[in-house]
Amino acid sequence: MKKDIYRTIAVVTGIFMLTLSIMLVANYFQVRNITPLETEVMTTLKSLNETNPDNADLQAQIRQLDLLSRKAYFVQEEHLKTGIYILLFMSAVFIFCLRGYYADVLHIAPKDIDIFDEWLVKSRSRKYVQWLAASLTVVALVLVVASNPQWLKSDKTAEEETLVAEQSEAPVAESVVAEATPTETVEAAPAEGEQTEAETADEAATEQTAEAAPAAPAAARVNHGMFRGNNSNGHSSARNIPTTWDFAGGGKIAWKHALTTKQGFSSPAVHNNRIFYTGGDEASRELYCHDLTTGDLLWTLAATGIAGSPSTPPAVASNTGYASASPATDGRYVCAVFATGDIMCADMDGKRVWAKNLGVPDNQYGFVSSLVLWNGIVFVQYDNSDSQKIIAMDIATGNVRWQKDRNQKVCWSSPIIATVGGQAQLVLMGNPEVRAYNPSTGEQLWSVDGMSGEVCPSPCSGDGVIFAANEYAKIMAINGADGSVLWEASDYLPEVASPVYANGRLYIATTYGVLAAFDAKTGELKAERELNMELYSSPMVVDGKIYIIGTSGQVYVFTADDNLQQISSFETGEMTYATPAFLDGKVVIRSLNTLYCVSE
């Protein structure tokens, strides 16, 4: 009876293994030459877009197809991994049952088989069956890994060693630095006085200030120095922000300028009277500076003459481009990074201070992680397919303060600075881990496993808790003091837009247009609102309100509470992917074709 059970299970698992192995082998030959960005349909649409760059419907179709392709790619990858685990498990069951079935069969020395010796024939046959099953399993596993080489790539690169060596190098000499290209008469820049950033639980205390030269505008009370505001946490202490404006009619529009600069998806950073953003294409990548009062373009700085910069830029997705990472400024310097791996820093007059190449990113969609500044250090999350690391550089010299390998998968998220127990933490999303570091030393403080898929949203923080969320994973609330998980949820998950915390609530905006509010202590879903729009820009909490803008240019303003009461909703007609910058009484918005300022 027992032998019959072993035999039945072995036969069933053997058939299952054979079928699954054949499917995995067939999958290898189907996908070995396919990438999400190079399908025939996508290539055709890109070609059409190059000949019709102003066709908004075509661009929307490309973005939608790209979104579906990326989802399908990661679903397929998860299915392959699941198939491997099942195959390995079934192999173990198969071998166990065969050993159980033949456990009481005596082994005899090998000899020539008599074709009439039934016992010997069966003995030799069972060995053949075992070898065949093992061979099929090994072949299937080898081909699956061959079709996903990124699973085996090493973290170490030559560029990494070069960066560490640069810690002792002198700043880039001005003689090898390209000059800025002035396009308008430049006003006197703010004085380069000392500037500090207080790391306290009160976000208003983190606003950076700088003394102004006599001829320059007075220092602003509120600045927006990087992606999603100071500390990149989705908050602004700006006040008197309009809740409606009329782009077409000019109502509450202080100024607007059609962009003649290179295309990019980076969000604007603003300090005092300067607006910064980036653009680029295969030919060149550039950093731009506009006057906040008039919107005039003050200067352009090209990322050229950088040692190690690739002569042929890497391939990027159409909705990623070469300038998706947002710049960051502290009022003395402004830094920008591009999809080529080039990073450069300039002063407020557009003179390049230093520049270097971090190594060409091996990234199927293009590098997009935005820069974060803290206490004179610029942080770069450089999680690519071939290596993953976090780099901390001195903003004044470009010298590496510290650098840590991360041993993660490719990631498109940006870091944040969180305040936990009165101390600053540098928090990074990753795949599969969310990690916190001491921003001064690089010491890892804690790590939590839980992310998967295409990790693009940044984390957020509030009241000592770190919140992480991503499509095909979950929402996690993490105690920033020890890395323990407080709660998890999976009701609504973001794909691109980053979450934001305010007043004991966590707000999540999905790419398909749902805004949801969760209790930050329990994870209970409190409210949800259907926005009926595609969303890439991240929500911002400003003056007790949530501002959110869709790719089609539709703007929503909600109360930042359990009710999510709609304050306003209106169309601008401007395709928008960047997250707006907020200042007292003003909003600076970069759409696909226009830079404009909203003001009371």
pLDDT, tens digit (0-9, with 9 covering 90-100), for 246-300: 999 999 999 999 999 999 999 999 999 999 999 999 999 999 999 999 999 999 9
Q: What is the pLDDT of residues 90-99, one digit of tens each?
A: 778 877 877 7
The token pair at 234 is: 């989705």
If asked whether residues 191 and 314 sit together in one domain, one would say yes
pLDDT of the residue at 42: 61
Indicate whether 134 and 277 sit together in one domain: no
- Does residue 197 carry a pLDDT above 70? no
Q: Name the domain count of the chain.
A: 2
Does the structure show a pLDDT above 70 at 480? yes
Side-chain half-sphere exposure of 77, counting CA atoms within 13 A: 20
Residue 181 has pLDDT above 50, yes or no: no
Is the predicted pLDDT of residue 168 greater than 60, yes or no?
Answer: no
Residue, of 234 and 108, whose pLDDT is higher: 234
Nearest to 322 by CA among 308, 331, 334, 310: 310
The predicted structure's pLDDT at residue 22 = 81
User: 130 and 229 share a domain?
Assistant: no
What percent of the chain shows pLDDT beyond 70? 71
Residue type, 467: F
Give the model's pLDDT for residue 53.
Answer: 62
Q: Are residues 215 and 312 in the same domain?
A: yes
Which of 151, 178, 193 is the endpoint of a domain?
A: 151
Rounded CA-CA distance 381/391 in Å is 7
pLDDT band at residue 12, thresholds of 50, 70 and 90? confident
State the average pLDDT over residues 541-551. Answer: 97
Q: Tell me, what DSSP letter sits at residue 203?
A: G
Question: Is the N-terminal amide bond of 310 cis, ω within 30° of 0?
Answer: no
Checking if the pLDDT of 108 tops 60, the result is: no
- Residue 400 located in a structural domain: yes
Which carries the bigger pLDDT value, residue 146 or residue 6? 6
CATH of the domain at 422: 2.130.10.10
Same domain, 317 and 348: yes
Pick the closest to residue 597 from 572, 577, 564 (CA basis).
572
Query: Are 229 and 89 within one domain?
Result: no
Query: Is 522 found in the same domain as 416?
Result: yes
260 & 131 share domain: no
- Whether 246 is covered by a domain: the verdict is no
Q: Residues 408-417: what's their mean pLDDT? A: 97
Q: Is 469's pLDDT higher than 80?
A: yes
pLDDT band, very low/low/confident/very high, at 130 (cuts 50, 70, 90) = low
pLDDT given for residue 382 in this prediction = 98
Q: Using one digit for the tens of pLDDT, what is the confidence trace for 517-529? A: 999 999 999 999 9
Mean pLDDT confidence for 460-486: 97
* Whole-number pLDDT of residue 600: 85
The two structure tokens encoding residue 64: 């939608």
Residue 132 lies in a domain: yes
Q: Is residue 244 part of a domain?
A: no
Instruction: Report the alpha-carbon distance of residue 163 to residue 399 in Å, rounded.
Output: 8
Q: How far is CA 211 from CA 191, 214, 216, 353, 372, in A?
A: 6, 9, 10, 21, 22
Question: Does residue 248 fall inside a structural domain?
Answer: no
Average pLDDT over residues 153-165: 42
Residues 326 and 211 in one domain: yes
The band of 33, judged by pLDDT with boundaries at 50, 70 and 90, is low
Q: Rounded to an integer, what is the distance from CA 80 to the centroid of its chain? A: 24
User: What's the distance, CA 429 to chain centroid?
Assistant: 8
Per-residue pLDDT, 16: 79
Q: Which domain holds residue 280?
A: 158-235+256-599
pLDDT of residue 133: 65
In a domain, 521, yes or no: yes
Domain check: are 142 and 165 in the same one? Answer: no
CA distance 299 to 189: 12
Q: What is the mean pLDDT of the chain?
A: 82
Domain boundary among 126, 151, 176: 151
Domain co-membership, 182 together with 137 = no
Ranges 134-138, 415-419, 543-547, 568-572: which has the least confidence = 134-138
| Confidence at residue 211, expressed as pLDDT on a 0 to 100 scale | 36
Q: 286: how many CB neighbours lie within 10 A of its CB?
A: 22
The pLDDT assigned to 492 comes to 94
> What is the predicted pLDDT for the residue at 489?
96
β-pair type (297-302, 423-428)? unpaired
Contact 273, 349 (CB under 8 A): no
In the three-class reduction of DSSP (H, G, I as helix; E, B as strand; rest coil), residue 284 is classed as coil
Instruction: Give me the mean pLDDT over the 214-227 stretch.
Output: 74
Can you give the pLDDT at residue 82?
78
Query: Are residue 40 and residue 67 in the same domain, yes or no?
Result: yes
Evaluate whether 580 touches 588 at the Cβ level (below 8 Å). yes
User: Above 90 in pLDDT, residue 121?
Assistant: no
Dist CA 236 CA 232 (whole Å): 10
Q: What's the pLDDT score for residue 7?
A: 77
Question: In the predicted model, what is the mean pLDDT of residues 429-435?
Answer: 97
Mean pLDDT of 73-78: 64
For residue range 307-359, list pLDDT tens digits in order.
Answer: 999 999 999 998 899 999 999 999 999 999 999 999 999 999 999 999 999 99
Q: For the ranges 67-71, 98-102, 273-277, which has the lowest average pLDDT?
A: 67-71
Domain presence at residue 269? yes
What does the DSSP 8-state code read for residue 224? B
Instruction: Return the pLDDT at 95.
Output: 79
Q: Is the pLDDT of residue 504 over 50?
A: yes
Evaluate if residue 167 carries a pLDDT over 50. Answer: no
Give the model's pLDDT for residue 59.
62
Quick check: is 249 in a domain?
Answer: no
What order of strands is seen across the sheet that includes strand 545-549?
A: 235-236, 540-542, 545-549, 554-559, 566-571
Domain end residue (candidates: 151, 166, 183): 151
Q: Is the pLDDT of residue 450 over 90?
A: yes
The predicted pLDDT at position 129 comes to: 62
CA max distance for the chain: 108
Q: What pLDDT score does 94 carry?
A: 79
